[in-house]
């Protein structure tokens, strides 16, 4: 028998983040945890006494299977970053008082870089105050930018969605027999893993995208326009995938080259979109051809109707492995994925010091960016391919995918 | 036994237009047609001697099943409008000479309004020159704006895709606990059928979109902003569906209210997008909240990975029924769908004089637009619901949906 545990979700959603929640919940229950609490909107919810007893919300095996197929964080999320221990001692005292009140044995946080920072700080504080509460990180991000893990749950499904819809967009472009350019804008501020997934569209039945531009290398607009002109001489329909985060050599985002549109939101944050539109407009103006900009937007992180079975399974596994590790006494760790073999694809979980992963951004190796920075290498494609394999069919009710709803 | 037939696809693609092509091909073969020719890029291809013998491209039962699941016109498309007979006699002479050369018994054209106009003119010309070639129209359009048919193949799958991703977008919006607005821009220049499908997102597990704006009624921006402010007092995440074609009272499209961006493409055509972005920016500026504009873009017509089985089946049926009718001597007709019963949903095909459908645009009845023009009625939802039922799973190969490729 074990005591109570608590779990939260943080950062941007993915279409499989709830499979990790199920992994934590089910494994904890199976291993004799008493109560499994869920923080609403991450640690922010815990601080505001916003949490639920998950058993009251995941009641049946059907609920478990629906939750695995439910996109976007079931418990809600936050982007709250803990202060340093020296500067925010009272926040830590408050959190640990709450955890004591709930008689928590282990604390799980499903998230990306910022969330791993939270686990790091909480486990540091636990040492400081001699608490024996275990703190474990469960990795998730569509961006695949977490260090030391072979890849991150959430990425495989986003990659599969991107590759699948890119195939459909390419098909759509072939329908007319006049020249046209389509620019697909894909998420990824600093890391190009998601954009690289567009390369998977190339297959026996599809010639794939014509060029791919990642944020790891500077974007050269003159070179781009030259390549565009060459392509336009060879074929009618040209499809190009770009990362939302591509920047020119002087550090400006590509969309910032447009001079007539404000890209700052109400909070003064730069809105990271519009580069596809800018490039499409430029091509249209210079070549006199039809162009279209397509932003995949939030669907690439929430399209639970098109997930990878490998990804959903691994998302579950990292959640379960975190519980197993915590119950065996580990703390201040994050579960990582280790690829044992490429072919056949075999991947195992391991636990690792959270300090090795927190606040480090893993980017696409520049040697995997080829053809004068306009495409990605076979190594990169072989790396991604196993992660998009197989499906978990949505549960369709009255014609639409059914999700599990949190009723508060 | 029958002679040769020829089939073409015209206008914008849908994700099930190839199921109609299969319906024509398979029914013609089953009923003893000799050769089934396919025009490449519609009638334009026929004029340029661009056509194929479909038996060389659809060889196996697997090919047939792949083709049903292949988005975007397999044979390519065109937007070529035939001249009037009096003005373009030589075009008609050329077409009929080609048809005679190929020994064509019946001519099938899968398309929307413009394509039905083509069938009308060709069958008129056949009467004029005493030709006994049969001309039949097979309806398709995601816009559902064809007259006299209960609905149009292509619409159900687009509606299903829109409803499914709207559910996912709504979920995505719930993740943070701060105010935000998402505006989804959906296709439909003059008819709001597609945008109305966003209403289907409302279900036991989803509260649905907050407002829906169709192009059938004038868009009142002051009223819109007032409603937006009311909503922002009640809840955090607000999702609004708008048609790309919404116009203010003086006839300008909503995106034309923006004064700093050019929306004209290289051909001088107005590009019909940007209204969501304009409204999102306006809300962001006036309310100081986070906003996001999502254009569903070409995916709503090409997302073959999320189709309606009812739609795919009906698309096949209208193709097959056109062949049956032509082989029984009908000409100058279009196949329409007649709803016999709503519950249980039963729909049959019928043939109708193409004059009754060509060049007429069917819009959403204004009495189905309710709540001060901000939502759609239950009648409209009941009308759409049967059309999105059931699935035809994609054939997944190496992690991605497989399509049939035309190898020329």
**List of chain A residues whose C-beta atoms are within 8 Å of the C-beta of residue B201:** 400
What letter would DSSP give residue A359? T
Q: Which long-range contacts (CB under 8 A, 24 or more apart) does B123-126 make?
A: B123/B331, B123/B332, B123/B354, B124/B85, B124/B332, B125/B85, B125/B92, B125/B96, B126/B96, B126/B331, B126/B332
Peptide bond into B344 cis (omega under 30): yes
Give pLDDT, residue B266: 42
pLDDT exceeds cutoff 70 at B252: yes
Angle of helix B89-101 relative to helix B113-128, nearest 10 degrees? 80
Question: Tens of pLDDT along B32-50?
Answer: 999 999 999 999 999 999 9
pLDDT band at B352 (very low <50, low <70, confident <90, very high): very high
Cα–Cα distance, A162 to B43 (Å, whole number): 34
Question: Tens of pLDDT along A278-306?
Answer: 999 999 999 999 999 999 999 999 999 99
CA distances from B65 to B23, B58, B69, B402 (A): 11, 10, 7, 10
- Six token digits for residue A234: 């060879």
Give pLDDT, residue A144: 97
pLDDT exceeds cutoff 90 at B357: no
- Whether residue A160 contacts residue A15, with contact meaning beta carbons closer than 8 Å, is answered with no
How many C-beta atoms surround the C-beta of residue B344 within 10 A? 7
Contact A72 B405 (CB under 8 A): no
pLDDT exceeds cutoff 70 at A346: yes
- Whether residue A270 contacts residue A253, with contact meaning beta carbons closer than 8 Å, is answered with yes
Residue of A nearest to B200 (CA): A400
Question: Tens of pLDDT along A86-112?
Answer: 999 999 999 999 999 999 999 999 999
Nearest to A203 among B182, B266, B398 (CB): B398
Give pLDDT, residue A13: 93
Question: First-to-last CA distance in chain B?
Answer: 29
Q: Where are the beta strands (DSSP E) in A25-103?
A: 36-39, 51-53
> What mean pLDDT, rounded, does chain A reach?
95
Sign of CA dihedral A42, A46, A48, A52: positive
pLDDT exceeds cutoff 80 at B8: yes
- Whether residue A109 contacts residue A119, with contact meaning beta carbons closer than 8 Å, is answered with yes
Q: How remote is the C-alpha of B303 from its chain's centroid? A: 12
Distance from CA of A295 to the nearest CA of B (A): 8
Question: Tens of pLDDT along A349-359?
Answer: 999 999 988 77
pLDDT band at B259 (very low <50, low <70, confident <90, very high): low
Fold match flag (A4-141+304-337+345-354+390-401 vs A155-302): yes
Contact B177 A294 (CB under 8 A): no
Nearest to B401 among A44, A167, A403 (CB): A167
Give pLDDT, residue A266: 42
Q: Could you tell me the residue ranges of all domains in chain B?
A: 4-141+304-355+391-401, 155-301
Cα–Cα distance, B351 to A226 (Å, whole number): 53
The CATH fold assigned to B4-141+304-355+391-401 is Rossmann fold (3.40.50)
**List of chain A residues whose C-beta atoms are within 8 Å of the C-beta of residue B402:** 203, 205
Give pLDDT, residue A137: 98
| DSSP three-state, residue B237 | strand
Nearest to A77 among B176, B397, B400 (CB): B176
Give pLDDT, residue B385: 98
Give pLDDT, residue A265: 44
Cα–Cα distance, A171 to A182 (Å, whole number): 11
Question: Tens of pLDDT along B372-386?
Answer: 999 999 999 999 999
Average pLDDT over residues B200-228: 98
Give pLDDT, residue A267: 44
Give pLDDT, residue B271: 58
Give pLDDT, residue B288: 94
Give pLDDT, residue B221: 96
- Whether residue A351 contacts residue A335, with contact meaning beta carbons closer than 8 Å, is answered with yes
Give pLDDT, residue B265: 45
Q: Which of A29-33, A113-117, A197-201, B269-273 has the lowest mean pLDDT?
A: B269-273
Sign of CA dihedral B18, B22, B28, B31: negative
Average pLDDT over residues B319-342: 98
Catalytic residue among A114, A117, A143, A210: A143
Residue A104, strand partner residues? A4
Q: What proportion of chain A, given as a percentage, has pLDDT over 90? A: 92
How wide is the angle at C-alpha B372 spanned by C-alphas B371 and B377, nearest 5°?
35
Cα–Cα distance, B120 to B113 (Å, whole number): 11
DSSP, residue by residue, A216-248: TS---HHHHHHHHHHHHHH-SEEEEEEETT-B-
Give pLDDT, residue B359: 79
What letter would DSSP give residue B357? T
- Whether residue A285 contacts residue B266, with contact meaning beta carbons closer than 8 Å, is answered with yes
pLDDT band at B273 (very low <50, low <70, confident <90, very high): confident
CA distances from B95 to A178, B77, B88, B241 (A): 22, 17, 11, 44
**List of chain B residues whose C-beta atoms are within 8 Å of the C-beta of residue A71:** 168, 171-172
pLDDT exceeds cutoff 80 at B362: yes
Q: Which of A115-119, A176-180, A260-264, B204-208 has the lowest mean pLDDT?
A: A260-264
- Whether residue B371 contacts residue B21, with contact meaning beta carbons closer than 8 Å, is answered with no
**List of chain B residues whose C-beta atoms are within 8 Å of the C-beta of residue A389:** 398-399
Contact B203 A265 (CB under 8 A): no
Contact B398 A389 (CB under 8 A): yes
Cα–Cα distance, A175 to B77 (Å, whole number): 5
Residue A247, strand partner residues? A253
Q: How remote is the C-alpha of A132 from its chain's centroid? A: 31
CATH number of A4-141+304-337+345-354+390-401: 3.40.50.450
Q: Which residue has the higher pLDDT, A32 or B263?
A: A32
Give pLDDT, residue A274: 87
The CATH fold assigned to B155-301 is Rossmann fold (3.40.50)
Contact B299 A175 (CB under 8 A): no
Q: Which residue has the higher pLDDT, A291 or B260?
A: A291
A to B CB pairs, distance under 8 Å: 206
Please give the positions of B annotated as active site.
143
Peptide bond into B141 cis (omega under 30): no
- Six token digits for residue B13: 């693609």
In CATH terms, the superfamily for domain A155-302 is: Phosphofructokinase domain (3.40.50.460)
Is A143 known to be catalytic? Answer: yes
Average pLDDT over residues B189-200: 97
- Whether residue B159 contacts residue B16, with contact meaning beta carbons closer than 8 Å, is answered with no
């Amino acid at each position: 028998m074990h005591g109570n545990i608590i779990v939260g979700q943080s950062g941007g959603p993915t279409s499989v983040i709830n499979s990790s929640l199920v992994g934590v919940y089910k494994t904890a229950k199976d291993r004799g945890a008493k109560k499994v609490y869920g923080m609403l909107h991450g640690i922010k919810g815990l601080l505001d006494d916003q949490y639920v007893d998950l058993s009251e919300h995941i009641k049946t095996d059907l609920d478990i299977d629906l939750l695995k197929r439910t996109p976007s964080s079931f418990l809600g999320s936050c982007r709250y970053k803990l202060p340093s221990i020296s500067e925010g001692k009272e926040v830590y005292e408050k959190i640990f008082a709450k955890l004591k009140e709930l008689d928590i044995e282990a604390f799980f946080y499903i998230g990306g870089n910022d969330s791993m920072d939270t686990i790091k700080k909480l486990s540091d504080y636990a040492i400081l105050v001699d608490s024996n509460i275990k703190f474990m990180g469960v990795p998730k991000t569509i961006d695949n930018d977490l260090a030391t893990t072979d890849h991150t749950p959430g990425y495989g499904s986003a990659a599969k969605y991107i590759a699948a819809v890119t195939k459909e967009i390419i098909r759509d472009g072939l329908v007319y027999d006049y020249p046209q350019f389509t620019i697909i804008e894909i998420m990824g501020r600093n890391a190009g893993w998601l954009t690289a997934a567009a390369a998977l569209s190339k297959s026996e039945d599809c010639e794939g995208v014509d060029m791919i531009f990642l944020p790891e290398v500077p974007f050269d607009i003159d070179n781009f326009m030259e390549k565009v002109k060459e392509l336009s001489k060879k074929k009618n329909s040209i499809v190009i995938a770009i990362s939302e985060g591509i920047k020119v050599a002087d550090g400006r985002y590509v969309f910032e080259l447009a001079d007539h549109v404000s890209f700052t939101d109400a909070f003064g944050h730069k809105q990271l979109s519009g580069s596809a539109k800018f490039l499409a407009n430029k091509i249209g103006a210079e070549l006199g051809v039809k162009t279209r900009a397509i932003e995949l937007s939030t669907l690439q992180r929430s399209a639970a109707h098109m997930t990878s079975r490998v990804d959903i399974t691994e998302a579950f596994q990292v959640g379960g492995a975190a519980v197993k590790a915590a119950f065996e006494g580990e703390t201040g760790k994050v579960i990582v994925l280790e690829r044992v073999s490429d072919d056949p694809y075999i991947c195992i979980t391991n636990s690792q010091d959270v300090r090795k992963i927190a606040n480090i951004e893993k980017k696409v190796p520049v040697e995997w960016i080829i053809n004068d920075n306009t495409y990605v290498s076979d190594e990169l494609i072989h790396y991604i391919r196993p992660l998009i394999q197989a499906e978990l069919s949505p549960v369709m009710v009255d014609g639409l995918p059914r999700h599990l709803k949190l009723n508060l």
